[in-house]
Chain A
């Protein structure tokens, strides 16, 4: 469903992505991990063209992300994205956050948008907070609303960019739970995260990146089971991240 082929990106002379190639099938839950600065976030943002790239191809279904003629807003409207810092719109209430793009982008009536918003708000367990403003919510609650906001657009795939990294530890669980449910329902997901427990339980594939390149791309159980067969860099990373 998503095809990433030989994607490279440079900032000036510094190459942040090196020939990244992979494919994601419908229903896949793929975790992308790796040390900071390895290009994980950049790679995930190239998929909905929030980050431009200089060479290579990305296809979502039969839409070419790399083609300058592609209608990017239309493409992005059905690719859900969840950010590290939630990025809810602080001047809008929770409900307004959920309905804005539905009305302005998809052209839904405000009643339809509201109804759908409330449905997803219920799914993430935030119905009671529909009239609050983002500033009145905890980080975990904001992130759940942000997930609901993305789901309102009926995405074909959900991209998560370190969705729990900015959260206090006690709030990580509630967000991961929402994501696990989503995965169990068959949503196609790409998730940059350091939560290896989540990767092990929920994902079916793990991509390991280092210095802008995809080093490992294998089934989750292989990734964790056959540590001996992993590349030294992946082993090193896993050792560091699992030791605490």
Chain B
């Protein structure tokens, strides 16, 4: 068989791919921002000395990490409308699911960053008269984030790849753009080939970026 690449054009990008790419990007950003925000609170709850709080957080995190994402996507899409009485649409459903799902993963990364710090850092913050909240905010979290930035970004790359799972509820993401283009031009193999190459370029570039960042953080005397 021979490959026909003649439909690789600017028009392919504007008509099919741009829209999906933007959605994938938006979904990744939303899940990253909300996931990290919610993840910080989950992590703090999980290490809290209040048993009920830490148990609830642990239950949430373990549940989210134990179920396949695609199942969660479907559940959310199908179950939430049953509770609120009206459909919420594939896109909103995807934003919600990914944010809640990623929060569990970010929470564990952030928790590991917090627990890797010497206990004396908290003591020092408290000894200076800062409240626990101030100590967490100005002493603990900045260090936890600095130490875990490479892992957090790696998780974002995985998240970007995972956004393609919204095919299950028919949302129009980047991969969907390739799929529809392939169908319309009658060239599915070439379309999926281009998809593979495109995902590779984006994710590879991002992982190089993580590497550069890692070196820079490692070389900075401040991180010692």
Interface residues, chain A, with chain B CB atoms under 8 Å away:
45, 48, 50, 72-79, 81, 83, 85, 87-91, 93, 100-101, 104-106, 132-136, 149-150, 153
CA–CA, A83 to B222, complex, Å?
Answer: 20
Residue interface mask B127-139, A partner, CB < 8 A = 1: 1111100100011
Cβ–Cβ contact A87 & B124, under 8 A: yes
Cβ–Cβ contact B127 & A48, under 8 A: yes
Closest to B123 in A: A50
Query: Mind listing 29 A-B residue pairs with CB under 8 Å?
Result: A50-B126, A73-B130, A73-B131, A74-B129, A75-B129, A76-B128, A76-B129, A81-B127, A85-B118, A87-B118, A87-B123, A87-B124, A89-B124, A89-B125, A90-B143, A90-B222, A91-B222, A100-B128, A100-B138, A101-B130, A105-B129, A106-B129, A133-B224, A135-B221, A135-B222, A135-B223, A136-B221, A136-B224, A149-B128
Q: Inside 8 A of B224's CB, which chain A residues have their CB?
A: 90, 133-136
Once A89-B124, A90-B224, A135-B222 are accepted as A-B contacts, the answer to whether A104 and B146 lie under 8 Å apart by CB is no
A141 → B minimal CB distance (Å): 13
Q: Inside 8 A of A45's CB, which chain B residues have their CB?
A: 123
Q: Inside 8 A of A79's CB, which chain B residues have their CB?
A: 127
Give the bracket for the number of chain B residues in contact with chain A.
20 to 34
Most chain B CB within a 10 A radius of its CB, from A48, A83, A85, A89? A89
Cβ–Cβ contact A50 & B222, under 8 A: no
B216 → A minimal CB distance (Å): 14
Kindly list the 4 A-B residue pairs having the minimum CB-CB distance in the complex, ordered from nearest. A77-B129, A135-B224, A87-B124, A101-B128
Beyond A89-B139, A101-B129, A132-B221, 13 additional pairs, beta carbon < 8 A: A48-B127, A73-B129, A76-B127, A79-B127, A81-B127, A87-B124, A101-B128, A104-B130, A105-B129, A105-B130, A135-B223, A136-B224, A149-B128
Cβ–Cβ contact B120 & A83, under 8 A: yes
CA–CA, A27 to B222, complex, Å?
Answer: 37
Q: Inside 8 A of A87's CB, which chain B residues have their CB?
A: 118, 120-121, 123-124
Q: Inside 8 A of B121's CB, which chain A residues have their CB?
A: 87, 89
Cβ–Cβ contact A83 & B129, under 8 A: no
